[in-house]
Amino acid sequence: MAETLVRAEQVHKSFGALDVLKGIDLEVAQGEVVCLLGASGSGKSTFLRCINHLETVSQGRIWFGDEVVGYRQVQDRLYELNDKAAARQRSRIGMVFQRFNLFPHKTVLENIIEGPVLVKREKPAAARRYATELLERVGLAGRENSYPKQLSGGQQQRVAIARALAMRPELMLFDEPTSALDPELVGEVLDVMKDLASSGLTMVIVTHEIGFAREVADRVAFVHDGRIVEIGSPGQVLDNPQNDRTRSFLSRVL
């Protein structure tokens, strides 16, 4: 059995009086691909942001390896990490958002190497070499000196993926990475993600692309009202859902 890389236990998240997450339990094994499905507003993206401490949990804990995300554990007490320690922990987790969030005034190459050079203190020459390799991997060889405005949405998202990979993460999080793209550009981003999945990279993906989830996921989890109400293999969840909410959702999207 592969080691557990991510373990969430009874994760709650509230924004004021609004309870968004209401007790998420999930384990993700090393090398596993888990797709999170569910209607908008069900808490999928919030949970993803909690995994790398972009949001702090209100209750419960998330482990990344043997560390509690966002905290240092001493016996039974938790102490929130300072900014430097949180950044070190977060550098092990790559995240790709709905919007590309590239720096518009920087070239593709500059966007990709900024994290490795500034956060991980890599030598610029080594960071540039790896960035060039990553651009070839995502199908953008030769676009090192382009600016984001010169690229299509699909190309910008592939640069965003390369930028996340440049940090050599142990875990990749994808928050609906194709939702902001025109339909004809979705496939080129999904193809890159399929390649990453086949390489053995651990991935947690929030997506509405059911066919993609069926093809690449080891497990699919359906999130409803801040809870995972059903989880299993793609065949189990997508073809033979047991939960009424899952069945209702799939009847609308399939």
pLDDT in tens, 223-233: 999 999 999 99
Rounded to whole angstroms, the Cα distance separating 235 from 240 reads 7
**pLDDT computed for residue 100 by the predictor:** 86
Average pLDDT over residues 116-125: 94
DSSP helix/strand/coil, 156? helix
Contact assessment for residue 207 and residue 42, using Cβ atoms and an 8 Å cutoff? no
- The structure tokens 């000196």 sit at 145
Q: pLDDT tens-digit profile of 169-215?
A: 999 999 999 998 999 899 999 999 999 999 999 999 999 999 999 99
Contact assessment for residue 210 and residue 253, using Cβ atoms and an 8 Å cutoff? yes
Residue 235 has pLDDT above 90, yes or no: yes
**pLDDT computed for residue 2 by the predictor:** 75
| CB atoms inside a 10 Å sphere around CB 242 | 12
Q: In the chain, count H helices and then E strands.
A: 9, 12
- The structure tokens 């509405």 sit at 208
What type of residue sits at position 210? Answer: I
Average pLDDT over residues 22-47: 97
**pLDDT computed for residue 158 by the predictor:** 97
Rounded to whole angstroms, the Cα distance separating 213 from 36 reads 9
Q: How sure is the predictor about 1, in pLDDT bands with cuts at 50, 70 and 90?
A: low
Residue 166 has pLDDT above 90, yes or no: yes
Q: How sure is the predictor about 250, in pLDDT bands with cuts at 50, 70 and 90?
A: very high
Poorest-pLDDT segment among 70-74, 212-216, 235-239 = 70-74
- Mean pLDDT in the chain? 95
Q: Please, which contacts does 232-238 make with residues 24 or more away whose CB atoms are closer than 8 Å? A: 234/35, 237/37, 238/210, 238/213, 238/214
Contacts of 244 (CB under 8 A, 6+ apart): none
Q: How sure is the predictor about 76, in pLDDT bands with cuts at 50, 70 and 90?
A: confident
Residue 35's H or E segment, with its range, is: strand 33-37
Contact assessment for residue 28 and residue 5, using Cβ atoms and an 8 Å cutoff? yes
